[in-house]
Structure 1
Amino acid sequence: MTAVLAPSAAGLPVIGSLLDLQRDSLNAFLRAQREHGDVVRFVAGPPGFRVELYGVFSAEGTQQVLATESANFRKDNKFYLEVRESVGDGLLTSQDADYLRQRRLVQPLFTRRRVDTYAATMCDEATAAVQRWHNAPDQVIDLLVESTGLTLRTVSRILFGADVEAAVEVVRRNFPLIDDYTRQRGFAPVTLPRHWPTPGNRRAAAARRELYDLCDEIIERRRLHPRAQDDHGDDRPGAGTAGRDGVADLLGLLADASDADGDRLSASEVRDQVLIFLLAGHETTATSVAFALHLLARHPDAQRTAREEVDRVLGTRRPGAKDIDALPYVTKVLKEAMRLYPAAPAIGRRAVADTEVDGYRVPAGANVFVSPWVTHRHPDYWEDPERFDPERFSPEAEAARPRYAWFPFGGGPRACIGQHFSMLESVLALSIVLQAYELAAIDTDVALSQGITLQATGPLRCRLTAR
């Protein structure tokens, strides 16, 4: 192989880039691309505990890692091992035959037609949220707090149906602790064994156990009582517990899923899928909704254009899945928010064999990551990249860009199975908020950090004016 070693990001003596990555990895990644190009090595940690990371920032390199050579870039790095230990081996973390089997069984539950049946539930929760906001003190809300509550209730209701109230409280109490614990372990150069009785390990184990107990209890109840009546009086085998709209909950469908050979997910596999859906299905969508509203609150002209579209298409009626294609500007706003604030700012892999990316050698065993945070700001693909401009996502503009210049849902064979779910929920929520309120930003500069998902380290407040 004639490729050369990638340039190394500047760092401190002995510990290299460790402090930069711990303090502000987002700006460290962005600065490295600006100073060194599209493949950069980060050397972090003291001798004996040193870690090397290869950042790949071009659209072409990203496509190679996620799609064209995806078999050579596996989810074997430390971060995914920590996620697997925390929330089980679901679609996000499983590999090889396990992943293919899980995907085969779960994929039919995420077709566009199936996901569209959840639109009424998504609208119910968004409508309830905007009604609650009428009682907000001084008509001020924190968009990230409220969006997280909204998406958590939505995904919990879709997963658990009639068991939603108990599920929401357990998840709200325990997921932030597990999220922070997993993030700290995933990005630390050295970690203590999980079984050591440290206070942090004990708190995380207790939180994980409570989440597991919740899922196991509900799954067992569904196994013992697999027939459920929906609101229309239909008695259907394996339908799960129907919600108020008569749609079977996703947990029941998972428990009943089988292929042509009769293969089914075990109870522990169903639980692992549920926990991954809870993690991926509320934090990521909450980030997209919150920052889309934040950007609209900061840009009155764009807010006016989006509201005019909502009024023209919907009037005063609430939206449904069939309306999504008729709301292209709201969709553009959402996509631009996901460009500027991607919920997963970095996506990690491990190289199996020596390979070449953008002319640089990536050795076997190397930790590799691609970064929506950086690539979504790459000047080769985005003019004035920090500027908010929904028209970047006109059909003509999208067709002119490389496929992986924008990839908030990953890509290739491991692309997010819930992409349509998230887009549908987000567009419906944005439309319902715009029907109810005008928004004005209070916090304009928001400090950010990288966890399992993109994190705002301060408030994201706006003032509401009821229409």
Structure 2
Amino acid sequence: MATVTASVQAPIVAGTPLFGSMSELLNDPLAAYLRARSRYGDVVRFRAGPPGLRRDLYAVFSAEGAQQVLATRAADFRKDNVFYEELRESIGNGLLTSQDDAYLRQRRLIQPLFTRRRVDGYAHQVADEAAAVAEAWREAPGETLELAGEMRRFALRMVGRILFGTDGEKALEVIERTMPLLQEYSLKRGMAPVKSPRTWPTPANRRAGRHQAELFALCDTIIESRRGGRGDASQDDTGDDGSEDLVTLLVRAENAEDGSLDAAELREQVLIFLLAGHETTATALAFALHLLARHPEQQKRVRDEVDRVLGGPGGRAPTAADMAELPYLTMVLKEAMRLYPSAPVIGRRAVVDAVIDGVRIPAGADVLVSPWVTQRHPEYWPDPERFDPERFTPEAEAGRPRYAWFPFGGGPRACIGQHLSMLESVLGLAVLLQAYEFEATDTGEVPLGAGVTLIAKAPVRCRITPRSRP
């Protein structure tokens, strides 16, 4: 990349005289970001909105720039932008949205719940839920599945079971119905040049209020049942293998420095885990299977690896220890997360004047980094749209900048649940590939959108064929 001086201003992306870049950012932001990087470079400025209400948005696309924003200068780029403010209002001030002392306190209390050893203890639940999906699919051999919906329900069942234990099944219907609508509501308010107060009785506000109240009541009921038994796990709080659900562990989380989480804080953490915990995994699973269905050679290689480790159709269930024995499957998953990151855009707000990648960004500016763009940057990824799991051999990974691939964010705010997501995805894929072959039915690209997470705007279809059991 060319070296520039600190006095360089970010180039302004051309838009319309009346609304600037608002239309393209609303209609197809992912394509808009890719075009902007290609035409203007690695740090650009979008201007969106009508005169008098126009806002500037700085977009940073290089791996080096992403590392500066998320890691080396993380204190200068905070979660103060309008999108986080709206999400905070909708689902609370949990790990995803909190800042400063509140965030540090939450992280210290919750980090012990996500150690590798504790997370590995959930492998049994993951394998069980994947086996239930595989068994349900056997009622429709040769049928076409819509992978985005199937994997969303599967991921929601997994995170529900891990979070709520035996209460998970009761919670799924409420979560699946209310959470996406609250996300959409928050995103629309974040994009609006002018918005009414949430207290005004508009149809959208009233509808969102009902969804929020229902979701809060569900979480509060489950948390209260755990708080009543604080100290010793009851039978209802444990899985078949004796592992405790995360809500029970959250209720008991405490230390001398930070005390414990109160009822509102517990609810906020549960809601964040529900949102982030199932969206990331669902996207990774759906598009990994989508890509394998389109690439039979790579699918066969994965299947051979799974058969060697687990014994083929009708073989044993995977465990956490098997993750190390499934390197090619892990490479496929990482490549799927490169091409289809569940969080395609990550927002921040600059709190001081800063120079990122040699370009000045003023204090108060809204800033975004984009896994969607950086993970397609031709400087790090030759032929970037091509599906190639070999990009993730240990040697290839060592030769790229750290932030050329960052689907879990990075720096001090990196996703606390990334090992859990990888465990769910690797073991879930292993079970499904052990049981089925996947065949593509559509030739075109799946149209995508960017909300709080990556959105498939059309069905993600494939045909399944059960594999013969010995």
If the TM-score is normalised by the length of the shorter chain, which range does it land in? over 0.9
Quick check: 1:6 aligned with 2:10? Answer: yes
Residue 314 (structure 1) shift: 1.1
**Residue 196 of structure 1: CA displacement?**
1.1
**1:202 counterpart (198, 206, 210):** 206
Residues 420-459 of structure 1 show CA distances to partners (whole Å, capped at 9, x for unaligned) of 0000100001100100000001134200000110000000
Using the TM superposition, give the Cα deviation of residue 230 of structure 1 relative to its aligned residue in structure 2, in angstroms: 6.2
- Please name the residue that 1:128 is paired with: 132
Instruction: Tell me by how many angstroms 1:90 deviates.
Output: 0.2
Match of 2:456 in 1: 456
Please name the residue that 1:430 is paired with. 429
Q: 1:263 aligns with which of 250, 254, 259?
A: 259
Cα offset, 1:184, TM superposition: 1.5
Q: CA deviation at 1:228?
A: 5.1
Deviation (angstroms), 1:229:
5.2
Q: Which residue is 1:252 aligned to?
A: 248
8 Å Cα contact 1:25/1:450 also seen in 2: yes
Q: Distance in 1 between matches of 2:64 and 2:193?
A: 29
Paired residues of 2:141 and 2:464 also in contact (CA < 8 A)? no
Q: Unaligned stretches of 5+ in structure 1?
A: 232-239
What does the per-residue CA deviation read over 1:288-336, in whole Å, with 9 as the maximum and x for residues that have no partner? 1000000000000000000000001111111010000110000000000
Go from structure 1 to structure 2 and tell me whether the alpha carbon gap of 1:301 and 1:110 turns closer, same or farther (over 3 Å shift).
Answer: same
CA distance in 2, matches of 1:195, 1:229: 40
Q: Give the aligned partner of residue 393 of structure 1.
A: 392
Structure 1 residue 226 displacement after superposition: 2.2
Aligned residue number for residue 446 of structure 1: 446
Where 1:102 maps in the other structure, the secondary structure is: helix
Question: Is the CA contact (8 Å cut-off) linking 1:230 and 1:248 kept in structure 2?
Answer: no
Select the residue among 101, 105, 110 that pairs with 1:106.
Answer: 110
* Residue of structure 2 equivalent to 1:304: 300
- Using the TM superposition, give the Cα deviation of residue 186 of structure 1 relative to its aligned residue in structure 2, in angstroms: 2.1
Unaligned runs of 5+ in 2: none
Number of the residue aligned with 1:415: 414
Tell me how far apart the structure 2 counterparts of residues 184 and 428 of structure 1 sit (CA, whole Å). Answer: 35
Aligned residue type for 1:163: D
1:140 to 139, 144, 151: 144
Aligned counterpart, 2:289: 293
What TM-score, normalized to structure 1?
Answer: 0.96
Q: Matched residues in 1 for 2:105 and 2:201: separation?
A: 36
SS in 2 for 1:463: strand
Residues 136-182 of structure 1, C-alpha deviations (whole Å, 9 max, x = no match): 37521111100000000110111111211211111112112112111
Matching residue of 2:237:
241
Map of 2:94 onto structure 1 = 90
Q: Which moved more, 1:139-148 or 1:165-174?
A: 165-174
Matched with 1:236 is: none
Contact 1:91 1:99 in 2 (8 A): yes
Amino acid at match of 1:404: Y
Partner of 1:344: 343
Give the corresponding residue for 2:382.
Answer: 383
Q: Distance in 2 between matches of 1:363 and 1:176?
A: 34
Aligned-partner residue type, residue 218 of structure 2: L
* 1:359 to partner: Cα distance: 1.4
Given that 1:443 and 1:459 are in contact with CA atoms closer than 8 Å, whether structure 2 keeps it comes out as: no
Report if aligned partners of 1:381, 1:401 keep a CA contact under 8 Å in 2: yes
Structure 2 Cα separation of the partners of residues 211 and 204 of structure 1? 11
The Cα offsets for residues 26-83 of structure 1, whole Å up to 9 and x where unpaired, read as 0000000000000000000011211110000000000000000000000000110111
Instruction: Give, in whole Å, the separation in 2 of the partners of 1:243 and 1:390.
Output: 35
User: Do 2:47 and 2:55's aligned partners in 1 also have CA atoms closer than 8 Å?
Assistant: yes
Structure 1 distance, partners of 2:192, 2:395, is 43
1:135 is paired with a residue whose SS is coil
In structure 2, distance between residues paired with 1:41 and 1:102: 34
1:464 CA drift (Å): 0.3
Counterpart residue identity of residue 245, structure 2: D
Report percent identity of matched pairs. 63
Q: What secondary structure sits across from 1:396 in the alignment?
A: helix
Residue 190 of structure 1 and its aligned partner are, at CA, apart by 2.3
> Larger deviation: 451-460 or 168-177?
168-177
SS of residue matched to 1:136: coil
Q: Which residue of 2 aligns with 1:237?
A: none
Coordinate RMSD, CA, aligned: 1.3
TM-score, normalising length from structure 2? 0.96
Corresponding pairs, count: 459
1:192 has 2:196 as partner: yes
Is the Cα contact below 8 Å between 1:230 and 1:246 reproduced in 2? no
The question of whether the paired residues in 2 share the 8 Å contact of 1:336 and 1:393 is answered with yes
After TM superposition, what 4+ stretches of structure 1 lie above 4 angstroms from structure 2?
227-231
Amino acid at match of 2:73: E
